[in-house]
Amino acid sequence: FPVAGCVAYRGFFAREDAERHAARLRAEGHDVHVYGVAAYSTLGRFDDPLLSTFIGYAEADLARLVFHELAHQVAYARDDSTFNESFAVAVEREGVRRWLAATGRDAQLRAYLESRERSRVALAEIERSRARLEALYGTRLAPEAMRERKTREMVRLAEKLKSIPGFRDTVPNNAFLAAHATYTELVPAFEKLLAKEGGDLRRFYERVKKLADSGQRPS
């Protein structure tokens, strides 16, 4: 795209348009994961409004969303969605934690941290499945045998996620795994970078902007 560059996902304003596009991809034999998003960023080129569709969110959820989208205005790496989304997730996590602690919302902070722990458990299961599938896809199995092994792994992951709130209805496939990787793969590296800067967000942002401009990733 002219402004955003190459991105790992595609957005639509109408679900029907997304489903039509998904149907074409499925007909070509691709895995597809269609999901809704509450907001998007114009990377600071326009004013991004607070919409009626999410203004009634719980306070922590609304703060998380605002921190995430504003992070895209701070730094943006062209052609690297994993860099951009992982950075924004790292910012939202730290931002919500600091905001709830600073404003004395202790009960909400506890609930938020508990939710983070549930997500951590789910993401650990997802990462284990990704690792097993990566090993599988690197073999020379016949396509039919590989598809059968892939199906078994996806069924196993779905069973693991059924007990975790927020993931109970998940029907995983390659597209689902790729979407989660886009938003989480580099989060630990960004959190490590923030720690190296002593938690100073201004210094952290400067480091991230230099990485984005140079086409490098945090390690």
The pLDDT score that the predictor gives to residue 166 is 87
Cα angle, residue 119 at apex, residues 31 and 40 outer, rounded to 5°: 65
Measured distance CA(11)–CA(149) in Å, rounded: 31
Nearest residue to 89 (alpha-carbon basis) of 211, 212, 181, 195 = 181
Share of the chain above pLDDT 70, in %: 100
Q: Please give the full DSSP string across 80-133, using - where no structure is assigned.
A: -HHHHHHHHHHHHHHHHHHHHHHTT-HHHHHHHHHHHHHHHHHHHHHHHHHHHH
Structure tokens that stand for 163 in this block:
């007990």
Q: What is the pTM of this model?
A: 0.93
- pLDDT recorded at residue 140: 94
- Over range 164-190, report the average pLDDT: 95
User: Among 36-50, 185-199, 203-217, whose mean pLDDT is lowest?
Assistant: 36-50
What totals of helices (H) and strands (E) does the chain contain, helices first? 8, 0
CA angle, 131 then 115 then 88, to 5°: 70
Instruction: Give the pLDDT score at 50.
Output: 82
Task: Report the distance separating Cα 44 and Cα 209, nearest Å.
Answer: 15
Percent of the chain with pLDDT over 90: 89
Over residues 39-95, the pLDDT tens digits come to 889 999 998 888 888 889 999 999 999 999 999 999 999 999 999 999 999 999 999
Q: How far is CA 193 from the centre of its chain?
A: 18
| The pLDDT of residue 213 is above 90 | yes
Mean pLDDT, rounded, for 85-112? 97
Residue 114 confidence (pLDDT):
94
